[in-house]
Every structure is written in C-alpha cells, then in structure tokens.
C-alpha cells in the first residue's frame, strides 16, 4: 500500500537489532487518517469474505482494528495480555513470546465473544515471527470460529512469520512488507 | 448520553465490589457504532476547544480515542503501561494505582509526542478514583502542553475521581455517570 510505505519511508526509523520504529504514526502516536485508508484497503482486499468480527491484541492493534471495523461494520474483540479480575473465568488462552518485550505472556479472550458462528478477520500492526498472530489463531481454533484472514499493517518479510502463515494456507494481507532494512543507512526495501 | 446509558442498562452487569462490567461493548468486545456516537457527542461538547491531540492510556481507551480522533481530525497518543525497548529513553512518566488490577504501574509517554504547543483532550473509558486520568494530567503538566478537557465514557459518580477533577477546575465531560448500583438487583442510577 503506497501511502503506508510512504509513511514508513518518511517517518519510520530503522534501529539496530531489526527494530523498525513507526511510533510517530502507528503504535504510540497514531495517525487516524492513515488508519482509515488502511481500513479501506483491507475492506477492498477482503470484500468477498463473510467477516462478522475483528480480533486483535492489545495494545497497538486496537486502534487500527477499531477504525477498520467501522468500514466492515462489525465489532472488535481484543485479546488481553494478562488475567484481569474483570474477566470472567471462562476464557480461551494461548501463550505468546514477545519479540519487543522479550518475555512470554498469556493471551486471553472471553468465551462469550467468540463462537462457532463467527467469521474472524485478525488485525495487528506488526508481523515478525508471528507469535502474536499464532496465539490469536490458536484461540480462534479453540472457539470453533472460522478464520477468514489476517490483515497486518507492517510485515517484516525477512522474519519467518508471514512465510509460515502463507504455507499454512492462511489468507494474509500485509499492507507493507519490508524485505530488508539497514540500520546504518536507514535504507528500506519493500516487497511488491 | 442516552445511547450509552441504554447500552449500560441493557448489556452492563453489576458485580460485587463496585464492578460494572461493560465488556460486551466497551472494553473487551467493542461496539464501534456506539464509539462513533460517543465521539460525535464529545466533538459537540468540546466544539469550542482548540484541541490538536487526544491522549489516552492503553489498552481500553485506545479504541474510543481513535474513533473520536477521526471526528476531531487530530492524532492520538496513548500512554504505555511499562517501559518497552521500543520507546526512546526520553519519556514523561507517572505512577498509577490500578483499581482493576490492584497494583501500581508506571505510565509513560515519549517526549517526542507532547510539547508546549499541544492542546490536549484526554479520553478514557472509565473514571472511578481517577488514578489513570491523574497520571495523564501529570504527564501533560510536565510536558508544558495545555489540558483542554477530559472525556470519559463511564464515570462512577459514587467514587471520588470525578468530584476531585471538577474541584480542580478540569473541564470533565462524562457521557454516563453512574451514581449508584446494586449488585443484588442489578439496578443502576444515572446522574442527569
């Protein structure tokens, strides 16, 4: 998606350790005009899918998921990263390894909000090793719901998450795929 | 706000310990049609304020903040609840006591995203003791930005957060204020 690539080129910062900082528009400060255009693109790409719910994971997936949900006219459910006393006992749970925070955490979704009747679009901001998305797919499978596809803002194409999802037959639509990045020069190579 | 009160009456659940569960439409599953109407109401209430940025706190404030931000045509910044390696060193920080999780955590915002030129609307889903909002106000004060007001979805009027903010002269617009709730009967009393 041209507009997202332009934002990444102009406002993204490549850091050591394969870190791509997009915190000025995607996941700390959030540019809702861009999010709206991203939502429109996912709506176009998944126009034929009978999606009735969007599933994302806290925290930085929530904004893009909510704005996309307005275009799909469906509710959003976000998976939570820790057990809260405000969550009922009955939850679907999965374990996720965080690339950013270098730890393992539990991801949970209340059983009230996923059922075999649901057709789910998963939305998240980043896809690297795919751990967060795989946690969400585990939860969808446990619920009996149908996975219609996965919409990602920025995929790191040089890490294996996207490749493994496509090999499993998951319909994956990443709006920008970074195939290479150089922390010294700041150079970015996008897949087209 | 009539529509939000109707959602709370029809879909909210009053639990022991002053817990009002609104997780089927506000903060686990999210009804973006309702969020859009809430954003419209805040836009009407703050029409005269020169707001150029919305500040919220992860996780459940992000969805309502992003959808409101579309109507205000401004970016959103969300405060993060823990130090991440993806945040630059320079942050504004405050400590917040969580009512829900019964612990103290750090709340941080990168200094890049708040400046003395900013006119901030704070948005959050719940106001009870006001700890989260007070943490955000500390951060705004430290940045030199101007606080234009606070928009809350559900205020628990029988806890002191709202009262203390109003006494400080903060322009607070809560879309629903619950003055009393009864866990045995499920009865809710709204302030009008």
Q: Which site among A20, A51, A83, A86 would you substitute to test the B interface, given the most B Cβ atoms closer than 10 Å to its Cβ? A: A86
pLDDT, tens digit, 9 for 90 and up, residues A46-59: 999 999 999 999 99
Q: How many CA atoms lie within 13 A of A107 on its CB side?
A: 25
Smallest Cβ–Cβ distance between B63 and the set A28, A62, A80 belongs to: A62
CB of A185 less than 8 A from some CB of B: no
- Residues of A with Cβ-Cβ distance to B71 under 8 angstroms: none
Residue A89's pLDDT is 65
Please report which confidence band the pLDDT of residue A115 belongs to, taking 50, 70 and 90 as the band edges: very high
- Considering only CB atoms, B113 lies closest to which of A28, A58, A65, namely A28
Of how many residues is chain A composed? 192
Cis peptide before B59 (omega within 30 of 0): yes
Which of A94, A23, A18 minimizes the C-alpha distance to A59? A23
Q: How far is B6 from chain A (nearest CA, A)?
A: 18
Domains along the sequence of chain B with CATH: 2-180 (3.40.50.2020)
Confidence of residue B152 (pLDDT cuts 50, 70, 90): very high
- Cα–Cα–Cα angle for B150, B153, B158, rounded to 5 degrees: 90
Strands B119-127 vs B103-110: parallel, antiparallel or unpaired: unpaired
- Determine the pLDDT at residue B55: 98
The DSSP annotation for B170-192 comes to --EEEEEEEEEE-TTT--EEE--
The Cα of B81 is separated from the nearest Cα of chain A by a number of Å equal to 10
Partner-chain contact A101 B85, CB within 8 Å? yes
pLDDT at position A105 over 90:
no
Beta-carbon contacts of residue A86 (< 8 Å; ≥ 6 apart): B19, B21, B23, B100
Asked if the ipTM is above 0.85, the reply is yes
Q: What is the DSSP letter of A59?
A: T
Place of tokens 């075999």: A116
Q: How many CB atoms lie within 10 A of CB B75?
A: 19
Tokens coding B59: 């996780």
Q: Provide mean pLDDT across the span B18-30.
A: 96
Contact B175, B41 (CB under 8 A): yes
**pLDDT value, residue B10:** 97
| Residue A140 predicted with pLDDT over 80 | yes
**Per-residue model confidence as pLDDT tens digits over B70-121:** 999 999 999 998 755 555 569 999 988 876 667 788 899 999 999 999 999 9
Tell me the mean pLDDT in the region A11-23. Answer: 94
Q: What is the reported pLDDT for A179? A: 97
Question: What confidence score (pLDDT) does residue A111 get?
Answer: 95
Residues of A in contact with B110 (CB under 8 A): 23, 28-29
Contact status of A63 with chain B (Cβ, < 8 Å):
yes
**For range A67-94, the mean pLDDT:** 85
pLDDT > 90: percent of chain B = 87
| pLDDT at residue number B171 | 98
CA distance A7 to chain B (A): 14
Least CA distance to B62: which residue of chain A? A63
Smallest CA–CA distance, residue B55 to chain A, in Å, is 9
Placement of tokens 């969020």 in the chain: B35
8 Å CB contact between B167 and B160: no
Residue A143 has pLDDT above 70, yes or no: yes
pLDDT at A83: 57
**B 6-25 near A (Cβ less than 8 A):** 19, 21, 23-25
Q: Which of A4-18, A71-85, A134-148, B93-107 has the lowest mean pLDDT?
A: B93-107
Whether the per-residue pLDDT at A132 is higher than 60: the answer is yes
Query: Which residue from B30, B77, B100 is facing A75, i.e. has the nearest CB?
Result: B30
Q: Where are the alpha helices (DSSP H) in B50-109?
A: 61-72
Burial class of residue A89 (count of CB atoms within 10 Å of its CB; 0-12, 13-18, 19+): exposed
């Amino acid at each position: 998606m041209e507009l997202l690539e332009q934002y990444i080129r102009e406002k993204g910062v490549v850091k050591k350790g394969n870190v791509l900082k997009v915190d000025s528009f995607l996941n700390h400060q959030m540019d809702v005009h861009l999010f709206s255009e991203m939502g429109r693109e996912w709506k176009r790409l998944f126009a034929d899918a009978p999606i009735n719910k969007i599933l994302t994971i806290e925290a930085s997936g929530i904004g893009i998921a909510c704005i996309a949900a307005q275009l799909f006219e469906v509710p959003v459910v976000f998976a939570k990263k820790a057990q809260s006393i405000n969550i009922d006992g009955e939850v679907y749970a999965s374990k996720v390894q965080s690339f950013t925070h270098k730890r393992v955490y539990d991801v949970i979704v209340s059983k009230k909000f996923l059922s075999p009747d649901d057709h789910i679009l998963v939305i998240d901001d980043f896809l690297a090793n795919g751990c967060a998305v795989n946690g969400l797919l585990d939860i969808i499978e446990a619920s009996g719901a149908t996975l219609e596809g996965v919409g990602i803002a920025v995929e790191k194409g040089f890490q294996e998450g996207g490749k493994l999802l496509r090999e499993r037959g998951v319909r994956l639509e990443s709006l920008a795929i970074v195939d290479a990045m150089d922390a010294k020069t700041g150079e970015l190579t996008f897949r087209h």
